[in-house]
Every structure is written in C-alpha cells, then in structure tokens.
Amino acid sequence: MVDDQGLFGQAAVAENYRRYLQPYLFDPWAKRLVNFAQPLAGQTVLDVAAGTGAVTRAAASAVGSAGRVIASDISRPMLSSLESAVAADSHAHDAPVEILECSATDIELPDASVDVVFCHQGLPFMPDRVAVAREFYRVLRPGGTVAVAVWALGERLDPFDGYAKFVRTRLPDSRFARAMSDGSLSMTTDAVADALLGGGFVDVVSSLERLTVQWPTADEEARGMAGTPFGPEIASLDSAAQAAFLSELTTMLADENGDAVPHVMTSVFGRGMVPA
C-alpha cells in the first residue's frame, strides 16, 4: 500500500467520482483517448492514474480477451471502486483487468513489458512530469506508444470552473477553489510535449481536442463535485448545510428549464513513441 493516497484517497470521493463524474465526463473523453492511440487486439495496456477505470474499461474493450490491461493508481479507494465496477459488469470479449497500487514515478512492472501506456487526467497531480514520462518510457516495449490527456490551460473548464465559482462564494479559503484558479490542474500543448520529449519519447505530437459533455440532470452534475478533491470539504458540513449547498449549486448549474447545461471542454492530447 502507498503511504500517501493523494487527493483522491477517500472512499466517498471515489464512489462519487465513479457515479457522477465518470459516466458523463471521463468515459466520453477516455473513449476519445483510446481511439487516439489505437491499441491493437491482444496487446498489453497500462492505464496509469486509472482512477475508477474510464480508460481501463475502454482499453479492455479495444484489446479484447486476448489482451491484458493493468490499471495502476496511487489511491486504493479509487482502485477498489474500479474493481467492484469490473466485478459487477464485465464483458466476455474484454481483456481481463489487473490492479496495481503504486505511484506513477515507481511503477511496479518490469522494463519493456507493455505495448501502450495511457495516462488520462493524471499528470497535473504529479509534480515531476518528466520523471513520470521516463517511467512510462521504461515500461514500454520498443515500438510502444504513450498517450496522455490533461485539461487545456487557458480554456474554460466546466463543470470544474462552475464548481469553483460557487465554492468561492461559500468557502473562500477552499483548497479546491484555489487549485482551480491557479491553473495547476491544466497544462499547455507545449508543456505536455516537453514532458514526453524529456522522458525520451520520439515522434511526439500534442494537440487540442474538444468534446461536449452533458449530465442528465443539473442535480447529478452538482453531485459530481463530491467526486473531486473538494468532496471531503462538502462532507465536513452538517447535513442541513450539505443539502442547502447541493440545492443552490444545482440551481446555479441549471438552465432556465432546470436542466443541465452542455459544456464544451478542451483537453490537450499528447502521444509519443519508443523507437522500435
């Protein structure tokens, strides 16, 4: 077990993430990222910072039952949530999923043992991104591919900007609101390319990608906030304050009919190769 489970280290955050953020936000982006790298049937894929498994599940479907998918993360609760989702809903044609609890800077796999490494929305939480890219390079076979995605710096980032705006009015000292304003959860195309080049990758490409996402209801979008690192701050409020918080946030996120508003989101996708 890793000592520091990080910002996603609480079971309630993991469950809310899997229930209210993954299906509407992370799954659509994960499918796009898997398509960007195009793993082949039968290949071995490593999903670093797998969280509750958005990329893991899409990759397992892409490489099929002859393939192998390893989901690694620093947070045991995120991996436990992923494991229970796989146990409850596994498809015969998908690759089996293995779980690896470890840091992205110290991946517990041999050198040159995987064909494709994914890291979706993980890099911003890792201070030394070049060290992480070097570790991706180490575990990839010659000819292997890395594909990463992060939110694009300088672009509107809903629902998180909306959450942060609301939080600032209620809890101005919130760590979450500060992280949203200082851009630490986003990167530029150059920063992504530099990290991959610094890790040793060749044929590096880095580009902006856009996708529109929407929750079925504004209430579900509001509940997604409890699946962010801000979740414990909401959970620390008493139950009446939590209900008021959720109801006011729901109102803020709804259109004039009370429905959730679609959000155009922008990510940076980066890809690199290990020379064959």
- Which residues are near ligand SAM by CB under 6 A? 6, 8, 22, 26, 30, 49-51, 54-55, 73-75, 78, 103-104, 120-122, 125-126
User: Which residues are paired to 66 by β-bridges?
Assistant: none
Amino acid identity, residue 76?
R
Exposure letters 13-45 (e unless 16+ CB within 10 A, then b): bbbbbbbbbbebbbbbbbbbbbebbebeeebbb
**Shortest Å, Cβ 53 to ligand SAM:** 7
Closer residue to ligand SAM, CB minimum distance, 12 or 254: 12
Q: Which residue is nearest to ligand SAM (CB)?
A: 51
CB nearer ligand SAM, residue 124 or residue 272: 124
From 230, 229, 235, 231, select the one nearest 6 (Cα to Cα). 229
Q: How far is the CB of 248 from ligand SAM (least distance, A)?
A: 25
Which H or E run contains 109?
none
Two structure tokens written together for 133? 């890219």
Minimum distance of ligand SAM from residue 29's CB (angstroms): 7
Exposed, middle or buried, 240 (CB in 10 Å: 0-12/13-18/19+)?
Answer: exposed
**Cβ closest to ligand SAM, residue 135 vs residue 219:** 135
Closer residue to ligand SAM in complex, CB, 122/159: 122
CB of 130 to ligand SAM, least distance (A): 14
CB closer to ligand SAM out of 80 and 239: 80
Smallest gap from Cβ 239 to ligand SAM, in A, equals: 27
Q: What distance in Å separates the CA atoms of residue 159 and residue 228, rounded to the nearest whole number?
A: 11
Shortest distance (Å) from residue 68 CB to ligand SAM: 18
Min dist. Cβ of residue 12 to ligand SAM (A): 14
Residue 107's SS3 state is coil
Which stretches of the chain are DSSP H helices?
A: 11-16, 27-37, 54-63, 76-88, 129-139, 160-170, 175-181, 189-198, 218-223, 231-235, 239-253
Choice between 54 and 187, CB closer to ligand SAM:
54
Question: To which residue do tokens 């906030």 refer?
Answer: 225
By beta-carbon proximity to ligand SAM, the closer residue of 220 and 248 is: 220
CA–CA separation, 21 and 224 (whole Å): 5
What does the radius of gyration of the chain's CA atoms come to, in whole angstroms? 18
